[in-house]
Amino acid sequence: MDAGAVEFPRKETRQIMVGDVPVGGGAPITVQSMTITKTADAEATLQQIYALAAAGADIVRCTCNEPEAAEGLARIVPRSPVPIVADIHHQYRRALEALEAGVHCLRLNPGNIRKPEHIKAVAAEAKDRNVPIRIGVNGGSLDPKLYEKYGGTVTPEAMVESAKQEIGYFEDVGFDLIKISVKASNVPLMIEAYRQLSEVTDFPLHLGVTEAGPPPNGIMKATAGIATLLAEGIGDTIRYSLTSDPVDEARLGRALLESFGLRERKNVDLIACPSCGRAEIDVYKIAADAQDAFADRQIPLQVAVMGCVVNGPGEARDADIGIAAGNKRGHLFVKGTNVAVVPEDEMVSTLVEWAEFITSEGIEAAMERAKASAPAARRAAEEDRQRNLNEKGDDANDSEQIVELMRKDR
């Protein structure tokens, strides 16, 4: 089914602008990531920002933990391809310096900056400069008073109260360019905190599972939390927090939104069969090779790698383009129609070449290109299909033989 055919209604939120990127208010959900360089090293940080933007990040956050970092931001902001958020934890002065450096947004952790007069000073300055602030509540660094109030444990209620308290300080100085996050490393806790928060506020929400850890488990945790909320219509901007290259965070964020149909596809959506007794090739290897070959190409197509020509083209008929293995050769198909036959070692390169052709010229042009080769390709596919069926029969996985054995053993 076309991802566009099913839609998740999104909760209505206000819109703020992070630089020229809208967040909330029905704007496309954005992907964020964070640099891991020293912000004071403007060149290294800019290099990483460019890599993150190329991987799909719409907004990038940099730590502003020392005066040199604020100076770095002054050098980074004018040259950055995406809006920059300054991450502020303990010292409100860094927030004021980051604003002076021209950042497009601040992130304040209410658990670490607690003096109301400091918070209000930052909000007043941000208001003058029309710069939004994310209230970044973190389960691991909750205000100790709230921690005690809720029985010495981090609860969704405590996290929401922390956010509300901060909103109150901002409102005292008439500041409302706010987005909020209530992240925790515990997935159910994070989900419930966001659910409760979305009931009591219409400020845009930034989703994330904090300190999710290294892949693959970190990816599972982050996806479990973020995807659950997105499916409920909650969330305006997302970040995967992984112990991994931040470029992976940006790629994963983008891929998650594309898989939900919440962002237009920018990169290949590679589908592949799980392989079985009928496969005529190492599907895992070809799929991995195809994934590598497409990694840095911006090709917004669904591409299929299938292990046999018996079921491959049919099962992947909705893919824009695909290849199925048969008798030491690859059968290339476009929208389920066989268009060419290539040697086995050219399967991936042919897939890439045709995918690039479709991206620049369109499906109809590809069909036109295939006019001469399609009849022979269809015949070759049918030959290999019959050969596979004759050799492996209808039951390529020998399931019935196993069932017979099971019955005998009873």
- The smaller minimum CB distance to ligand SF4, of residues 248 and 382, is found at 382
Minimum CB separation from ligand SF4 for residue 404, in Å? 21
Q: Which amino acid is at 248?
A: D
Query: Is the separation of the CB atoms in 220 and 247 below 8 Å?
Result: no
Cβ proximity to ligand SF4, 275 vs 337, nearer residue: 275
Closest contact distance (angstroms) between CB of 275 and ligand SF4 is 5
What is the rounded (10 degree) CA torsion for 186, 192, 193, 198? Answer: 150
**Going by DSSP bridges, is the β-strand pair 237-239/269-272 parallel, antiparallel, or unpaired?**
unpaired
Do 123 and 94 meet the contact criterion of CB atoms below 8 Å apart?
A: no
Instruction: Give me the least distance between CB of 308 and ligand SF4, in Å please.
Output: 3
Integer Cα distance of 323 and 94 in angstroms: 54
Interacting residues with ligand SF4 (CB under 6 A): 273-276, 278-279, 306-308, 310-312, 315
SS3 74: helix
Minimal CB distance residue for ligand SF4: 307
With both helix axes pointing from N to C terminus, report the angle between 217-231 and 187-200 in degrees, rounded to the nearest 10: 30
In angstroms, the CA 410 to CA 390 distance is 32
Find the shortest distance in angstroms from Cβ 293 to ligand SF4.
Answer: 20
Q: Which residues pair with 134 in a beta bridge?
A: 107, 179
Burial of residue 264, with CB atoms counted within 10 A of its CB: 0-12 exposed, 13-18 middle, 19 or more buried: exposed
Closer to ligand SF4 by Cβ: residue 56 or 312 = 312
- In the complex, the smallest distance separating the C-beta of residue 321 from ligand SF4, rounded to whole angstroms, is 16
Q: Report the distance separating Cα 167 and Cα 211, nearest Å.
A: 25
Q: Residue 135 or residue 306: which is nearer to ligand SF4 going by CB?
A: 306
Considering the complex, state which of residue 119 and residue 308 has its C-beta at the smaller distance from ligand SF4: 308
Closer to ligand SF4 at the Cβ: 101 or 332? 332
CB 312, min distance to ligand SF4, A: 4
